[in-house]
Each structure stands twice: as structure tokens, then as C-alpha cells.
Amino acid sequence: MNPSTTSIDIAKNVLLEQSQALQATALRISASFESAVNTLLNHSGKCVISGIGKSGHIAQKITSTFNSTGTPATFMHAGEAMHGDLGIYQPGDPSILISKSGCTVELLRLIPTLRTFKSPLIAIVANTQSPLAKECDIVLDASINREADPLGIVPTTSALVTLALGDALACALMSARGFAQTDFARFHPAGQLGRNLLLSVADVMHPTDRIACLHSGATLRDAVIAMTRFPLGAACILDSNTRLIGFITDGDIRRALQSENDIRTLPVEKVMTRNPIHIFPDTSLSDAAKIMEDRPSQISVLPVLDHDGITCLGLLRIHDIYQPNLL
């Protein structure tokens, strides 16, 4: 390493080299990729993905991505395959064999047996003239100019390109299968992904009997008392028919303190936001998070209104979206 080369320089060089490698890979996508997609799409069973070393780790990630996006897949360790793990195969199960060099002995010795299983063989290799490439039915080109590490030998760029090709296959298969957000939710019932896709605002919001609600004649003193009783960060100003006419947040009260000598008797109408941004009860948590977060100034709490946009039904906080998953 050149003494004048900083860690920041190295990081930038790695990312730039890898991005260029990905662009070059995209330009090489050809009919062989479509053949691989069709082979996987037309098989009703599973796909077996195999590799060893760093390629094995990438194979496991591709396997996981396939499974979560509607393409049944299983990982088979290339070193364990000949010691009983080949029993995972059913006749016709396609194989994806991953090797940077295309000379991995553990993969090459599998091929005669895989042929007896009538397994279509798809290779992802960095050397399209390698023994593995020549033995397989379909070859996806994962070649690179050099690895991105200072020595040019550590599987960095090659691993990224291989993973990206796996992602590309998964995405193409998703599209071909018409894989929808509801399917993704079905396969991810736990964790934040599942929570955001399966639950709606109505499932986690605070109803009006558990939030600070005030009438239009109330003062900021009344607001502080109500918001202390229900410390959710906001209060809804309602008319006699529970229609929302205004919204006050903790921030509004702090700003009023800065500009007024005595806020106790200040009418809430002087401080409240009329026609505030709001949300509906059947909005998914995923969409709610986007509404609250994908903006220059994030919103921490929103009123929940009926579909006429008039009657207040409750409050939603950003914290409610990210509560521990109870599914």
C-alpha cells in the first residue's frame, strides 16, 4: 500500500472498480441468460445451487433469494455432495454450479452423476473457456478484469458479480411468475418486512379514546394536560362530530413557548395545523413508513382519518410501525 494512499482512497477505488465490473456484466447479458431463466421457470420442482469456499457462500445467498421470491431452491455443499448429499435431487432438478475459475474439482466430479439425474447444468463462472463451462449446458459469464483488493487476488469483485447475476436471475423469475407483494409477504411473515407488508395502520394505531383530543375552544394548557395523560406526541382538535379541524404536536408547543410569554391561555386554534397530512386505516405499514419517512422533514406522528378525510379515528406514530414484531 502506498503510504500516501488513504483508507478513503482505497474504499472509493474498490467501489468504482466493482461498479464498472457490474456495468460490464450487464452489457454481456445474452440469450444464455434467457435460457437459464426458462430452464428454471419450466421445472416444477426445485433448483440445486452448489459451490465451495467463497462461491459456496454466494451460492447460499442466491438460494435464499430464490426461495424468498418464489423459486424453490436448495444449497448443496460441493464438498459434501459425493458423501450422501446428492440424495437431495429429484430427476430433472436443474443445477447452478458456481466457480470463479471453472476448475473446481469438487464441482467437476459431480457432473457425471448429475447427468444421470437428467439435471440441466447452469454454470456461473469467470472463465467461459474453463472445464466447468465446457461441461455445462448453459454458461453465465461472471468474468472480471481484476479483483478490487490491493493485491488483486481476494474474491471481492468476482463475488459481487456472481451475486448480482443470481439477483438478476431471481428478479427475472419473479417477473415471469407474476410474483406480487402479497406473495412476498406470505413468505416473510416474521420480522419488520413481514410486519410492514401484512399489517395495516388499523392494526397498530391508537384509537380516539386513547389519544389526546380537544375541542376548538381549548387552550394550550388544556393541550399540555391532555398530551401528558396520553403521551403520544400530538393532540387532535375535533368538533362535536369528531371531525378533525386541527392537529398539534409537541414541536408546536415548543415553538409556541419560544414566541409567547404565557401559553397557558393561548387558544389551540392559534397554534394548530389545519388540514394536516393524514393517513387512512387500511394503509399498509410499508406505505405508512414511506409517507412518514420519504420526505425532507420526517413526520413522527399522523392523525388517522376515515376515507372521507373528515372523521378522526386515531393516531399513528412512527414508533408504532417499528414496534417488535408480534406475528
What radius of gyration, in Å, describes the C-alpha atoms of the chain? 29
> pLDDT tens digits for 126-175?
999 999 999 999 999 999 999 999 999 999 999 999 999 999 999 999 99
Residue 176: predicted pLDDT: 95
The model scores a pTM over 0.75? no
CATH 3.10.580.10 is the classification of domain 201-321: yes
Report the DSSP pairing between strands 206-207 and 138-141.
unpaired
Nearest to 327, CA basis, from 170, 198, 162: 198
Residue 2: predicted pLDDT: 64
Tell me the fold of 7-179. Rossmann fold (3.40.50)
3-class DSSP assignment, residue 273: strand
Domain boundaries, the chain: 7-179, 201-321
Instruction: Give pLDDT < 70 ranges for the chain.
Output: 1-3, 188-193, 324-327
**In this structure, what are the phi and psi dihedrals at residue 302, rounded to the nearest 5 degrees?**
-135, 145
Question: CA-CA distances (angstroms) from residue 37 to 5, 33, 92, 123, 138?
Answer: 43, 6, 15, 13, 10
Q: Could you give the strand order of the β-sheet that contains 244-249, starting from the edge strand earlier in sequence? A: 212-215, 234-238, 244-249
Q: Which helix (H) or strand (E) holds 29?
A: none
Residue 191: predicted pLDDT: 64
Query: What span, in angstroms and rounded, lies between the C-alpha atoms of 174 and 179?
Result: 5
Residue 27: predicted pLDDT: 97
> Quick one: angle between helices 191-198 and 285-293, nearest 10?
100
Residue 3: predicted pLDDT: 65
Number of Cβ within 10 Å of residue 153's Cβ equals 9
Alpha helices (H) along the chain: 7-28, 31-41, 54-68, 105-108, 111-116, 131-135, 157-177, 181-187, 191-198, 201-204, 220-229, 250-259, 285-293, 318-321
Residue 189: predicted pLDDT: 65
